[in-house]
Chain A
Amino acid sequence: MTTVVTENCQKCRFTDCVAVCPVECFHYDDDMLYIDPDVCIDCSACIPECPVQAIFEEDDLAEDQKKWIEINASRAPDLPVCSEPIDPLPGAEERKSELGF
């Protein structure tokens, strides 16, 4: 079991999730965040914090979202750690309303 960030995070990157992660396992690139499954302790603290519901427990992923397990696992370790909230990407608020949140 692990916890993964999915595509709703793209182009948005509100980092509300990061502030509550007890083990600093979020990593980021220009697009979105990724969780390092080797560090994540599956505490679920981040899940309700995400304003666009981008984070899921592995077991709760829809079939077409399962690919994100592998994407998080392979991307995260090579990217810098995001240990504190950073500014959302420009247009994040618009994207949030687009997604219906």
Chain B
Amino acid sequence: MSKPGSEGNPLKVAIVGSGPSGFYAAEALLKSELNTQIDMYERLPVPYGLVRSGVAPDHPKLKQAINVYAKIAESPAYRFFGNVTIGKDIQVDDLKKLYHSIIFTCGAESDRRLGIPGEDLRGSYTATEFVGWYNGHPDFRDRDFDLSHDTAIIFGQGNVAADVSRILAKTRDELKHTDIAEHALDALDKSNIKHIYVIGRRGPAQAKFTSKELKEFGELEDSDPILVGDELILNSESETELEDKSNAGNKKVYDLFQGFSQQNPSDNKQRRVYFTFLKSPVEILGEDCVESVKLEKNALSGDAFMQSAKGTGEYSEIKTGIVFRSIGYKGIAIPGVPFDEKRGIIPNAEGRVTDDNGSAVPGLYVAGWIKRGPSGIIGTNRADSVATVKALIDDLDLQNDSNDMPGEEAAINLLNNNNVNFVSFSDWKKIDDKEISRGEPKGKPREKYTYIQEMLDVLK
């Protein structure tokens, strides 16, 4: 019998998740010399993961990455099975019987918790919920955000925090020609939020915003960025960090903050985004909904590039009715697959899934956010998936005997037997076309369907 990947015995791979890491893994397999057949499973009827439902609607150019994925999907060796949740509709053990290898690229769909009192009060939300809601993710379609208050607080210092605060700071006119979900556009239009605090644990030299995203805060129609000069005072370690030539990105960010601090906010603009550093929330206060947050001032300690923030025992309070926690995503366990609860990832060694003893589980691989944790942007996942596929192919070379897997119909039979109403890539293209034509009269690149049933109804 021939090796998987050879002429008569195609290497059959299931990919779980259709975000960037899933598509880059498919691409790497298709580009390899091997004879492969790839089935990609996605729990939603629609593909592209966080490029569709994470990346901000007002950054349309980034979303063009999907054109690359659509091209990968044209390969005759690729099939898409949407509306199929692995671990629920289909078990991993059943997949193992159909494929030589499974690559998990299912992202990090849950949130880290602050672990402070009041975190679950009404009015305290995760960035994930809010981002999913304005991007029309069906899981968050019916969330209701109370935007009637004048002050909102965002905990976090990264680009997700920047997205959330920018969307809150933008006017209807600034958003109406994006692919933001209609229900969110309408709700945001009625928002009373004028003061937006973006609060970070560490200092301005350690903020994880990119300069490009930060720059946008100085260019908004009805909002100005506010930075109190004191906030920008650096300790000597932070100065060392910014002087380091390899740290050009943070230096640029710091210079932008400095620029903001020297500008007077315009009287003609109603909204303000306040960048605040070295503060950690210790409690969210309120009777039955959020009324204020209690913050502790931090100080940095440790060597340059290793500094951590520690509380100083000095407290302050900000009144607010709505809080967004943006302190990091984490993965969700899939039944039948090892999971590292603490890190929120599938444990792995260079992309090979490992068990409790650290030994590789044959045939199981992982890439993207569920492999590394929620860091890195779209392109980071490309290098990451290429590395995982390399490990997969190296392992094939070590295999001498090979098992023939059942034919192409086996996956479809399994889905049918489990009564799964799956969506193919050509089905998705019908949904895609409809979304685009729904957007046209409004001058939007697309108007997304936001309920799973609506998506499936298009196919009737």
Contacts and interface: CB of A to CB of B under 8 A. Distances in A.
**Are A and B co-members of a single complex?**
yes
A22 B212 contact: no
Contacts of A44: 210, 212, 377
A22 B383 CA distance: 9
Interface in A74-101: 84, 100-101
A84 B383 CA distance: 9
B16 to A, nearest CB: 20
Using C-beta atoms within 8 Å of the partner chain, give the interface range for chain A.
20 to 34
Contacts of A23: 64-65, 67-68
Contacts of A19: 382-383, 386
B252 A22 contact: no
Interface stretch (A5-13, A28-36, A45-53, A62-70): A45-53
Contact of B68 (A22, A47, A48, A84): A22
Interface string B74-93: 00000000000000000000
Given A23-B64, A23-B65, A41-B61, A60 B379 contact: no
B379 A45 contact: yes
Which label, helix, strand, loop or mixed, suits the secondary structure of the A interface?
loop
A43 interface: yes
Contacts of A45: 377-380
Contacts of A42: 61-62, 212
B379 A43 contact: yes
Interface in B13-37: 20
B64 A41 contact: yes
A20 B377 CA distance: 9
Contacts of B65: 22-23, 41, 43
Given A44-B210, A53-B248, A57-B212, A20 B61 contact: no
Contact of A24 (B62, B68, B378): B68
Nearest to A84: B386
A21 B249 contact: no
Nearest to B28: A84
B32 to A, nearest CB: 12
Nearest to A47: B249
A19 B326 CA distance: 28
Contacts of B342: none
Interface string B238-262: 0000000110110010000000000
Nearest to A2: B61
A98 to B, nearest CB: 14
A60 B249 CA distance: 11
Nearest to A57: B212
B377 A43 contact: yes
Given A43-B62, A101-B245, A21 B379 contact: yes
A24 B64 CA distance: 12
A22 to B, nearest CB: 4
A92 B285 CA distance: 58
A12 B356 CA distance: 44
Interface of A: 19-24, 41-48, 53, 57, 60, 84, 100-101
13 contacts: A20-B379, A20-B383, A21-B382, A22-B382, A23-B64, A23-B67, A43-B379, A44-B210, A44-B212, A45-B377, A45-B378, A45-B379, A46-B379
